[in-house]
Copies of this chain bind each other. A is one copy, B any other.
Amino acid sequence: MKVLVVGGDGYCGWATALYLSERGYEVAIVDSLVRRHWDLTLGVDTLTPIAPIRQRADRWYELTGKKIDVYIGDICDYPFVQDFMRKFPPEAIVHFGEQRSAPFSMIDREHAVMTQVNNVAGNLNLLFAIKEFNRDIHLVKLGTMGEYGQPNIDIEEGYITIQHKGREDRLPYPMQPGSFYHLSKVHDSHNIRFACKIWGLRATDLNQGVVYGVLTDETSRDELLVNRFDYDEVFGTVLNRFCLQAAVGHPLTVYGKGGQTRGFLDIRDTVRCIEIAVANPASAGEFRVFNQFTEQFNVNDLAMMVHKVGTAEGMNINVCHVENPRVEKEEHYYNARHTALPGLGLVPHLLSESLLDSLLHFAIRHKDRVNKAHIMPTVTWK
């Protein structure tokens, strides 16, 4: 089965491409490499030295005999999209190829507009390409749990049945995204739902939680296959950031009160969830939404867990509450359903002290590469 991984040079995309390749899928990567360019413009860098994309793919081939084609270009450029669709006609497209950082989208007007135009136009191009080339292609699209915001009722998986004034309907779950980036994902979701309706396309929207961890069975096999690990204020996700902060002796930076609750998952579950979605395609015309996370934590919980594990290792860890750069609820109800993926076979890697311990050691191993100037938040929402 041929699977295109758009954004296959990124944190989740690279791990997914190798995971699918290892399991016998025929994989091709599409990537513009713009994420590496954005790192350069901001002066930030992954904690881990990552090899150039073609070198990564070549090394994978040397080790496994499995070939991963690489198409370098921008999916906002439709002739490029047509070109790879002809050369590698896929049965599924896994779409990670978007600007995926909330703080990046909040830097200024240019970054906000660029994020929305880039994400919306690229995603529309993939929808039109599926319509043009083969309407049976299953689009597996990465969304985010952040599309829902933090409503005061339970979060369902994409849809909610509403009783209202004596009538009832099953409607798209109301969305309250919290950044121009998160908004772009809501725009995408609406566009995809419509394309499924009018063209009979098949799509799965994976509303992913916050991903942590770095190693998968495949990326740990060789130095040249190592995945990126972002620790900076713009691209770093919270648990990875806390582990890095502990490793370099920086206080853990809890934004505001720290009662912000979110869904989380291990990157080893990200790759498995994608495989589950690919192996169980949506029906023709179906816009299916899965909430892709395994556990809920609030930010204080995570800081305390890193504190505990690090202290047991003899580290001296402080937790500080910094002024929240975001506009968000710091104490709120949060209960989100996430039963669809386990129902299709996901057996989660729950967050454990041993995983935190190995993450801490991983961060310590690379700590000479850390630029401490990029740890404290500078991008504000207001």
Chain B residues whose CB sits within 8 angstroms of the CB of A163 once the complex forms: 153, 163
Chain B residues whose CB sits within 8 angstroms of the CB of A134 once the complex forms: none
C-alpha gap A165/B151 in the complex (Å)? 13
Chain B residues whose CB sits within 8 angstroms of the CB of A171 once the complex forms: 151, 153, 174, 176
Q: Could you tell me how many residues of chain A have their Cβ less than 8 Å away from some Cβ of chain B?
A: 47
Interface residues of A in 131-162 (CB under 8 A from B): 151-154, 160, 162
CB of A186 within 8 A of chain B? Answer: yes
Chain B residues whose CB sits within 8 angstroms of the CB of A176 once the complex forms: 171-172, 193
- In the complex, the answer to whether A190 meets B191 with C-beta atoms within 8 Å is no
Chain B residues whose CB sits within 8 angstroms of the CB of A186 once the complex forms: 187, 190
Distance in Å: Cβ of A173 to nearest Cβ of chain B: 7
- In the complex, the answer to whether B154 meets A160 with C-beta atoms within 8 Å is no
A21-29, A40-48, A177-185: which one contacts chain B?
A: A177-185
Chain B residues whose CB sits within 8 angstroms of the CB of A175 once the complex forms: 172, 190
CB of A116 within 8 A of chain B? Answer: yes
Distance in Å: Cβ of A250 to nearest Cβ of chain B: 27
- In the complex, the answer to whether B124 meets A197 with C-beta atoms within 8 Å is no
User: Residue among A109, A163, A180 with the most chain B CB within 10 A?
Assistant: A109
Distance in Å: Cβ of A372 to nearest Cβ of chain B: 28
C-alpha gap A151/B171 in the complex (Å)? 8
CB of A117 within 8 A of chain B? Answer: yes
Assuming the contacts A109-B125, A117-B121, A382-B199, asked whether A153 and B167 have C-beta atoms less than 8 A apart, the reply is yes
What are 21 A-B residue pairs whose CB atoms fall within 8 Å in the complex?
A109-B124, A109-B125, A113-B124, A113-B125, A116-B120, A116-B121, A117-B121, A124-B180, A153-B163, A153-B168, A154-B167, A162-B162, A162-B164, A163-B163, A172-B176, A178-B194, A179-B194, A183-B191, A186-B187, A186-B190, A198-B382
Q: 4 closest pairs, A vs B, by CB? A: A152-B169, A171-B174, A109-B128, A153-B164
